Amino acid sequence: MKIAVVGTDTGVGKTVVTAGLVGALRERGCDARAVKPAQTGFPPDDDANVVATVCDDPDAAVCLRYLTEPLAPAVAAEHEDADLSYQSIQEETAAALTDAAVGVLEGIGGLRVPLADGREVVDLVAALDCFAVVVARSGLGTLNHTALTIEALQRRNVPVLAVVLNEYDGTTIAERSNPHTLETMIDAPVVTMPSVEQADLIDTASERLLPLLDPLPARGAPDS
């Protein structure tokens, strides 16, 4: 099984959701592993290390390549004169995902972020035959970004398991109304994820995220 944790933007909490999901699966005895195709802004950014730390296991996550500039991978590679091809990204990511019973692909920024050779994150998610979990902000402005993200995935025949509104605390009218409003706009369930301490992340993910995975429909190859 392959799941892509994708975001409506950068900084929305993809790593938190990935870490919680992988940790919750591993705690239940499932061989789950997070795969980051490329990490930009390294150091200090290192999403795979965050997942491994939450899971307390270095084998819980892998990053396939690191780039220094905090930019889209294609832009960072060009700026650093680094060799980066979409074919290598796709092949290496596919291999890493199939090394585990449940491979969790963590996206990079939003879906239209350039990876390499004119290809984007959404191309990789579709090519690898993943289910998707969309991570979005909880507050004002998330309706448009989330609906457009869902639309982009559906156009590529990527099944969406759910939208996760991250760092939800319900203190504003926008936050309190967004879950219901989104469910009237999109064909996917909406769940909320509160801000929690790292030590509580796996338990919270077990409660809120694991129900999204049971049961899963059969995932076929996307239509051409």
Q: Is 40 annotated as a binding residue?
A: yes
Average pLDDT on 71-87 reads 97
What are 205's two structure tokens?
A: 């993910």
Q: Is 35 annotated as a binding residue?
A: no
Would residue 222 count as lying in a domain?
A: no
Q: Is 2 annotated as a binding residue?
A: no
Q: Is 144 annotated as a binding residue?
A: no
Instruction: Note the pLDDT tens digit of each residue in 156-193.
Output: 999 999 999 999 999 999 999 999 999 999 999 999 99
SS percent in the chain: helix, strand, coil, step 5 = 40, 20, 35
Instruction: Note the pLDDT tens digit of each residue in 14-30.
Output: 999 999 999 999 999 99
Instruction: Identify the pLDDT of residue 214.
Output: 76
Instruction: Identify the pLDDT of residue 212.
Output: 86
Would residue 219 count as lying in a domain?
A: no
Q: Is 54 annotated as a binding residue?
A: no
- CATH number of the domain residue 62 falls in: 3.40.50.300
Tell if the pTM clears 0.85, that is, is over it: yes
Average pLDDT on 136-164 reads 97
Would residue 86 count as lying in a domain?
A: yes
Would residue 220 count as lying in a domain?
A: no
Would residue 47 count as lying in a domain?
A: yes
Side chain identity at residue 117, one-letter code: D
* Length of the chain, in residues: 224
The residue among 210, 223, 224 whose CA lies nearest residue 102 is: 210
pLDDT-based confidence at residue 213 (cuts at 50, 70, 90): confident
Q: Is 2 a catalytic residue?
A: no
| Number of domains into which the chain is organized | 1
Which helix (H) or strand (E) segment holds residue 21: the answer is helix 14-27
- Within 95-148, strands assigned E span 102-110, 114-116, 119-120, 131-137
Alpha-carbon distance 126 to 121, whole Å?
A: 9
- Whether residue 224 has pLDDT greater than 60: no
Would residue 75 count as lying in a domain?
A: yes
Average pLDDT on 191-214 reads 93
* 95-109, 185-199, 201-215, range with the lowest pLDDT: 201-215
Among 2, 36, 65, 137, the active-site one is 36
Would residue 139 count as lying in a domain?
A: yes
The whole domain housing 186 covers 2-212
126 φ, ψ to 5°?
-70, -45
Q: Is 167 annotated as a binding residue?
A: yes
Tell me which residue has tokens 């940790």.
Answer: 23
Would residue 218 count as lying in a domain?
A: no
